[in-house]
A = this chain, B = another copy of it.
């Protein structure tokens, strides 16, 4: 009964954001999301502090507000300033062979965090989750996890500081003990409230949240963090993953752990417009790391929603609507040169620059980025995957 009410409510809401669905009638209202989830906006003072503490300019995703919300990130920085280290935890649900640009965003940012803070990183591949949600076989989920690991490794992580694991390979031992300890602290009603499960959902779904929660606690990785029960955890992720970690943060003090801190990103918008995440089921909604230069050019020209006017004459007169323009949004993610970006925004907004010119520049940038990724991925051997996924100590992970 309660379940029905909550899912009806959800349908009536203007936007739905959870780990399996991101949709909105108009644009995602991130202020509303922050308020609903109870996280904080990442303000300029924190960004300045990151720059100061790491001695590096803040990552473009920080400067541009791509990572825009957090939970207790300031406490991580306080601890870091006192000389305490922490570890990073991020992950991926391996549901498809090819990653799209949106999938790369958290990994690109996580690599920056690893380099800037010089800290270890665990990356969870939730092949069990995808096996359950997407009705893949165990074997296919595991294959996808390994394929995705290659794309992740291609983002440039440091093998001496990074442990990548798949749940099907790794769940057991201390990790399983933490799953059980976490599950003991969370009622069914609670997960219904957080995730909106119904009685018709299978119990694999109900069992899964502790699997994603467990890596937030250092004792889940005895080969890495033995004796480091107090080590803090920072989780970079898209904000749709927040529900898992809200649950985890509720549980943490009861198990004697720090609450994991989060730093959370916007969704990378679909080519068709900013009403949700890109959909893996519509290949034309996203640019994939496997797309050729020609694919990228075609997709941008054909599908990228333009804020330009319907005729050159009107465009020159009124300028582009940058608020809805997807090429401008994408440039905001991937054009690192602030001066050039500002120039394009000004010229395009004033109608001096045409949609075609902006799309051409975006095509160049994405083609170069995707080709660079493809070269990096081609260089990732099976031996390298094995090395990242080996259950091993990381002797110099904090240096």
Contacts and interface: CB of A to CB of B under 8 A. Distances in A.
Interface of A: 1-2, 128, 131-132, 135, 138, 167-173, 176-177, 180-181, 183-192, 197-204, 206-207, 209-210
Given A172-B171, A172-B172, A207-B207, A202 B180 contact: no
Contact of A188 (B132, B173, B186, B197): B197
Contact of A203 (B128, B186, B199): B186
Nearest to A128: B180
A183 B132 contact: yes
Given A1-B1, A207-B206, A138 B186 contact: no
A179 to B, nearest CB: 8
B188 A202 contact: yes
Contacts of A187: 199-203
Contacts of A210: 203-204, 207
B1 A180 contact: no
B189 A204 contact: no
Contact of A131 (B128, B172, B184, B203): B184
Contacts of A191: 203
23 contacts: A1-B2, A131-B180, A135-B184, A138-B181, A167-B176, A170-B172, A171-B171, A171-B172, A171-B176, A180-B204, A183-B204, A184-B204, A186-B202, A186-B203, A187-B202, A188-B188, A188-B197, A188-B200, A188-B202, A189-B199, A189-B200, A203-B207, A206-B206
A180 B132 contact: yes
A272 to B, nearest CB: 33
Most chain B CB inside 10 Å of its own CB: which residue of A1, A188, A189 = A188
Given A168-B176, A168-B177, A207-B207, 12 more contacts: A131-B184, A132-B180, A138-B181, A171-B171, A176-B176, A180-B204, A187-B202, A188-B188, A188-B202, A189-B200, A191-B203, A206-B206
B202 A203 contact: no
Most chain B CB inside 10 Å of its own CB: which residue of A1, A171, A209 = A171
Contacts of A138: 177, 180-181
Contact of A184 (B132, B168, B183, B190): B132
Nearest to A135: B184
Most chain B CB inside 10 Å of its own CB: which residue of A2, A135, A180, A184 = A180
Contacts of A207: 183, 203, 206-207, 210
A176 B190 CA distance: 25
A177 B356 CA distance: 51
A171 B207 CA distance: 14
Nearest to A172: B172
A321 to B, nearest CB: 46
A209 B203 contact: yes
